[in-house]
A and B are shown apart, each in its own frame.
Chain A
C-alpha cells in the first residue's frame, strides 16, 4: 500500500508570529520554521501503517525553499521519498490554491491513501483535507484518532473524534484521511535516519511542472485577502471563581466554564 503524507512547514508554535506589513502575509522569516505538529502525527501513522503492511511512504510538501528542512525531517523519521512543490508564484496562496497545487502534485504519483494533519498551527482552518478529497473525487475521513486498513487493502476504517466521543467511519481506498494528535506518539528521528534522509530522492515540482496557471494560485489567485491587521490586545486578567461555603458552588461554576469551552 502506497501512502502520501502531506506536511507543511509553519512558524514555531511557541514563537510570536508576525505578519509582513508589505503584503499582509505571514512573515515566515521572523521565526524558526518547524514541521506543523499535527503533520508529525500523520507521518508517524503512515510509517506505522507501512510497518504493518509494506508499501512506500511519500512526503508531499508545498512551501518555500526553507521547507526542505521539514521535508528532510519527515524523511529522517523514515519516509521513503518526497515531492516538494516549490515555486515563487505560490507565495500568498490560500487554502483553495493550496489544495489545487497539492491535488495536481498527487496526480503525478500513485497512492492508495493520502494522510494529513487535521489542521496547521498557523492558519488553523482544517479545510485542506476536505478540499483535497473533493478535487480528487475521493472519500474523505477526517479527525481520525485511529486508522485501520483492511487486510485486502480495499478499504480504510477510522475512529473519527467528535465532541462527545467517536464515530466509526469506513471508506473504500484510495481515500483522504486527516488525523488528530490522539492517534499516536510521533517518533524522534534517529541519527541513522537523519543521515539516511540525505540520500533519499526529493522531486521538486514547479507550477509549470504541475500544469497550474499562475493566476489560480499565490496572492493573485487568492479568493480572500487580508485588508489590515493589528497586534492582539494584551491578555486580560482571568476570572476568579470564588468558592462559597461547601465547595459545590465553585465546583459547579468551574464545570460550567470548562463545559462551555468544550474542555470537558
Chain B
C-alpha cells in the first residue's frame, strides 16, 4: 500500500522548520524584502540548524539526510517566505550539488564543509543573457591554456552570485566542439577570482530578499583541476542537476500555495463584510476549498517525484509534472489569496502580497512551464524539435 505520510524523522524536521519559519523568519522578512536586503542572520541560523547540509553525507559536513528532507524543509520555509527558501534551494541543489555529484574528492573536501554549514553559499551559472531554455546554445567559452582554464562570457539571473558569503560559482562554458554539437563543461570559479565581475542586484518583481545578479567573465583564469566531472559532460550533468532541482522548486511552490491558504483562512474568518465573516460566503469558502485541493494534489506530485528519486528510480517525468503543476498552483493560490484579502492584499505589508509577487517566477526558473511540457511530451514519445 502506498503511504503518502512523512515518516517520524521527516515529520519532526518539518515541525522544527515550521517553528523556525514562524518564530525567526516571519517577524522580520517583510522588512528585508521591502529594503531588498539579504537576510544574513536568518541564513546563519539556517546554517546552524544544518539545513544547508541536509542531503549530504556527514563526512563532508552534511546532515546525512536525503533530498526528501530538503524538499520538506523548502516547503515549510516557502510557506512563510520564498526568498529564504530559494536561497537555500539554489545554494544546495544548484550550488553544492554539482560539486557533490560530479566533483573530485579534493573538490568536495575543499568546498562542501563550508557550504553544508551555510557559512558559505554556492551558485550555479547556466543561464546567459541570450538564452536560458536552450541551454545547449551556451555562448560562454573556456579555453585550456597551460594548466588553467581561461573563461569568457556573461551569465544572467544567477541566484546567490553576489552575497558577502558567496564562495563558489560553478559555470557552464563551451570547451570545444564535437561534430556540429558544442561541447559544454562545468567549471568551478572561486568568488573573487580576477576578471570575474559581479553585477549589481537586479530590481526584481519578487524574491526580493534573495540575491540575483549578472556575472561577467573576462579572461578569468582558474586551475585546470577546477573542471567538474568529465570534460564535455557538462551538458548532461546540469540536465540531471536540473531534474532534481525541479522537485525542490515544486516543494517551494507547494509551500507558497499552502502559505496562501493559511493566510486566507485566517483572514477570511476574521474579516467581516455585510455583518458576517467573509468566509461564510460560499464564493469565498469555495475559493478556500479549491486552494486546499491544489496545494494537496501538488504536494502528492512532489512527494512522488522525491520518493522515486531517493529510491534511485527514474523520476524525470514525475519531477517535470510536479514542477509544472505546483508552480501553476502557486500562481493560482496567490491570485486567489490576494483577492480574498481585498485591498489589503495589494498592500506590501501583507504576506499574501509578497506571495503574489513571488509566485510567478516559479513558472520561469529552473525550466519554464513550456520546457516542462516539452520534457513530459518527449517522455511520452511525442517528440518536439
Contact = CB atoms under 8 A, between A and B. Distances in A.
Given A192-B64, A195-B65, 18 more contacts: A73-B12, A76-B16, A187-B49, A188-B16, A188-B19, A188-B45, A188-B49, A189-B12, A189-B16, A189-B49, A190-B49, A191-B49, A191-B54, A191-B63, A191-B64, A191-B65, A195-B9, A198-B8
Interface string B37-60: 000000001001111001000100
Contacts of A73: 12
A72 interface: yes
A194 B20 contact: no
B9 A198 contact: yes
A197 B9 CA distance: 9
Contacts of B65: 191, 195
A87 to B, nearest CB: 24
A128 B133 CA distance: 64
B13 interface: yes
Closest 8 CB pairs of A and B: A190-B50, A191-B63, A194-B12, A192-B63, A188-B49, A191-B65, A188-B20, A190-B49
B123 interface: no
B99 interface: no
B92 interface: no
Contact of A194 (B16, B45, B51): B16
Interface string B1-30: 000000011001100100110000000000
Q: Chain B's interface: helix, strand, loop or mixed, by majority?
A: helix
B120 interface: no
A72 B16 CA distance: 12
A143 to B, nearest CB: 23
Interface size, B (range): 10 to 19
A84 to B, nearest CB: 16
A194 B69 CA distance: 12
A35 to B, nearest CB: 10
A192 B62 CA distance: 9
Contacts of A198: 8-9
Interface string A194-206: 1101100000000
13 contacts: A187-B48, A188-B20, A188-B49, A189-B16, A190-B50, A191-B9, A191-B49, A191-B64, A191-B69, A192-B64, A194-B12, A194-B13, A195-B65
A197 B50 CA distance: 16
A197 B8 CA distance: 11
Interface string B62-77: 0111000100000000
Nearest to A187: B48
A76 B13 CA distance: 10
Contacts of A187: 48-49
A108 to B, nearest CB: 27
Contacts of B64: 191-192, 195
Contacts of B49: 187-191
A207 B125 CA distance: 63
A138 B51 CA distance: 42
Interface string A64-93: 000000001100100000000000000000
Contacts of A190: 48-50, 63
A59 to B, nearest CB: 15
Q: Which of A187, A189, A194 has the most CB of B within 10 A?
A: A194
A51 to B, nearest CB: 14
A15 B277 CA distance: 20
Given A190-B50, A191-B54, A76 B12 contact: yes
Interface string B330-342: 0000000000000
Contacts of A189: 12, 16, 49
A190 B49 CA distance: 5
Given A188-B19, A190-B63, A191-B63, A72 B12 contact: yes
B54 to A, nearest CB: 6
A194 B51 CA distance: 12
A73 B15 CA distance: 10
A38 to B, nearest CB: 15
Contacts of B58: 192
A194 B64 CA distance: 11
B63 to A, nearest CB: 4
Contacts of B48: 187-188, 190
A131 B58 CA distance: 44
Contacts of B8: 198
B9 A194 contact: yes
Interface string A163-192: 000000000000000000000000111111
Interface string B309-350: 000000000000000000000000000000000000000000
Contacts of B45: 188
Interface string A47-75: 00000000000000000000000001100
Q: Which of A73, A76, A192, A197 has the most CB of B within 10 A?
A: A192
A9 to B, nearest CB: 13
A195 to B, nearest CB: 6
B13 A191 contact: yes
Contacts of A192: 50, 58, 63-64
B329 to A, nearest CB: 26
A199 B58 CA distance: 17
Nearest to B70: A191
Contacts of A195: 9, 64-65
Q: Which of A73, A188, A191, A192 has the most CB of B within 10 A?
A: A191
Interface string A95-130: 000000000000000000000000000000000000
Contacts of A188: 16, 19-20, 45, 48-49
Nearest to A32: B15
Contacts of A76: 12, 16
B115 to A, nearest CB: 16
Nearest to A192: B63
